[in-house]
Amino acid sequence: MSIDKIAELKGIPTKDNLLKILNEQQAVVTFTKLNGDQRVMTCTKSLNIIPKENHPKSNPKAHDTNITVWDMNAKGWRSFVYDRVQKVEQ
């Protein structure tokens, strides 16, 4: 089964669409952490929202399965595995 079909069945955006959303605004992403705990995180990749002093100094290549985001509540960079995303709210 394709990853796009899995996203459709889970009711979440495809990875490309999620990245587009996060680059434009903030979203609330619910995902399962690697230890099995569920996490709800308000996050973004939008440089218009992230404080200037926290903008990335470079653009390192992230692992293909991970999405690196700015956690709005923890005020720090975090990442999650796309395959573990359960819900996305805009």
Give the percent of the chain with pLDDT over 70.
Answer: 96
pLDDT-derived band at 83 (thresholds 50, 70, 90) equals very high
Return all residues near 51 (Cβ < 8 A) that are at least 6 apart.
75
Q: What is the mean pLDDT of residues 1-8?
A: 84
Tens of pLDDT along 41-77? 999 999 999 999 999 887 766 678 899 999 999 999 9
Residue 25: pLDDT over 80: yes
Q: What is the mean pLDDT of residues 31-43?
A: 97
Of 18-22, 57-61, 83-87, minimum mean pLDDT range:
57-61
In order of their start, the domains of the chain are 3-89 (2.30.30)
pLDDT of residue 39: 98
Continuous H helices in the chain = 3-10, 15-24
Residue 30: pLDDT over 80: yes
Radius of gyration of the chain from its Cα atoms, rounded to whole angstroms: 13
